Amino acid sequence: MRISLGCRLDFKFPKSTPIIAMLNVDATHYCDLEQLDFLTTTPCVPIESYKDVFGNWCSRLTAPAGAFRMATQGIFVDHGKKDRFFPAAYQHSVQDLPSDALVFLLGSRYCDTDLLSQESWRLFGETKTGWARVQAICDYVHQQVTFGYEHARATRTASETLTEGRGVCRDFTHLAISFCRCMNIPARYCTGYLSDIGEPEPHTPCDFAAWMEVFLANRWWIFDPRNNQRRIARFLIGRGRDAADVPLTQTFGENTLGNFEVWTEISN
């Protein structure tokens, strides 16, 4: 099926302001590309693109004073299958992990593993290793944390999510990532588009989503502690240690975000 996806973000800037934007679908989806999701701006300004240390595609630009819009719109062909499922995936010993996975065992800005290690081993130390342990972590986070946009807070860490028992998708993801890392399972933060295709109605307004990838059986696998189920039409934008590594927009000055639209829908 053909999936139309994109976003529109309307800002107001009191003065000329540099921006780094991460709004394009990751290159892993380019083989499914029908219409490239170019980043456009109104008014039009020069855009310089580069890859960051995690391989994410970033756009560097400067917004003029006044109203400013950034937008993308692309069409991708999706196979219509749900996230891959492989319950036999085994956990590696730390000494057998590839070197580039080791950074995803460490604590980070929002994944305060030093505060969660003892609780992680208490909760999951007796679970079967590998896929079953990661699923047990996702089940626990999904059950213990209450979702609500009114609970959003940009500074909330994983340990605070556990204590408060509430948050948005990034908080679910940070907590599950932290538990995995405490259990010596590499886990990385992902952000992107997630459709409601195949989900019962009514659908909530579309937004960007967060999930995680864990390293088991020599590859990375998608897990989604917020929804705790495999989904259709998930499109990655960026990966990192946590949300601090993949801000959709990083503005270097005062601004106001007004209109914000995200869509992921079947295209005829």
pLDDT of residue 11: 98
pLDDT of residue 267: 86
94-232: CATH, from 3.30.70.260, 3.40.50.920, 3.20.20.70, 3.10.620.30:
3.10.620.30
pLDDT tens by residue, the chain, 268 residues: 899 999 999 999 999 999 999 999 999 888 888 999 999 999 999 999 999 999 999 999 999 999 999 999 999 998 889 999 999 999 999 999 999 999 999 999 999 999 999 999 999 999 999 999 999 999 999 999 999 999 999 999 999 999 999 999 999 999 999 999 999 999 999 999 999 988 888 777 788 999 999 999 999 999 999 999 999 999 999 999 999 999 999 999 999 999 999 999 998 7
Q: What type of residue sits at position 207?
A: D
pLDDT of residue 253: 97
Cα separations (Å) of 123 from 107, 134, 137, 171, 179? 19, 12, 9, 19, 9
pLDDT of residue 202: 79
- Of 3, 2, 5, residue with least CA distance to 193: 5
2-80+248-266: CATH, from 3.20.20.80, 2.40.30.260, 3.40.50.620, 2.60.40.2250:
2.60.40.2250
Interatomic CA distance for residues 176 and 148, integer angstroms:
17
Whole-model pTM: value is: 0.96
Interatomic CA distance for residues 212 and 144, integer angstroms:
18
pLDDT of residue 268: 74
H or E element at residue 209: strand 209-216
The residue to which tokens 């580069």 are assigned? 50
Q: Residue ranges of the domains in the chain?
A: 2-80+248-266, 94-232
